[in-house]
Amino acid sequence: MQHHKKQKKRILIFAVILGIFLLAGSNLTAVNTFDQTYFDKVYKNHTPFGDVFFPTVNEFGDGRFDYAVNLVYFTFGNEKDRDFAKINSLSLAATGLVIQGIKMAAHRRRPTYDSYDSFPSGHTGYVFAMATLFSDRYPKLRIPFYALAISTGIARMYLGKHYPSDVLVGAALGITIPAIMLHYKTNLLQLRW
């Protein structure tokens, strides 16, 4: 019961954060100033370590990687592992659909090239979704999972792909959507697969 109260509180907090950024995501000067200032701090300060580290952690936010992990759990795991993979896949699909829908509606230009699918960050959404799901399954590893997710979000800015608000909203969606799925896990697993 206590676990569900924490999840509801977490969902509410991230829903509020997401709402603020969605409302602010139009063309408000404060958001644009914040984005450009912190994007420049990350993007314009490359290091030899960062040039190796960030492209590597960036791959963890690729949906193909995330689905491959689920495929291993589903194919080689026991019933509990397969249920875990089902919830993960459903969460990733829902996260991806929401993010892609917002990208199409927002039509925000990426920071370093002419592509209009910057807001929100899909890589960040996926990796935070995986961190949320795996943290639920392996709570003692919560810190490394979220450290990897945060690193991937920073990588998206370091590589010139996203502004900070893109990353923050991607992270909020990546936490909120799987938290909702985990809350209804029992009901979702009763659906015919």
Q: How many CA atoms lie within 13 A of 85 on its CB side?
A: 17
Quick one: pLDDT at residue 7?
A: 63
pLDDT of residue 160: 92
Q: What pLDDT is stored for residue 170 in this prediction?
A: 94
Q: Which domain holds residue 169?
A: 2-189
Q: Which pLDDT does position 34 carry in this prediction?
A: 83
DSSP 64-129: HHHHHHHHHHHHHS-HHHHHHHHHHHHHHHHHHHHHHHHHHHH-PPPSSSS-S--SS-HHHHHHHH
What pLDDT does residue 52 have? 96
Instruction: Count structural domains, the chain.
Output: 1
CATH of the domain at 39: 1.20.144.10
Q: Which residues of the chain have pLDDT under 70?
A: 1-29, 193
pTM of the full predicted structure? 0.84
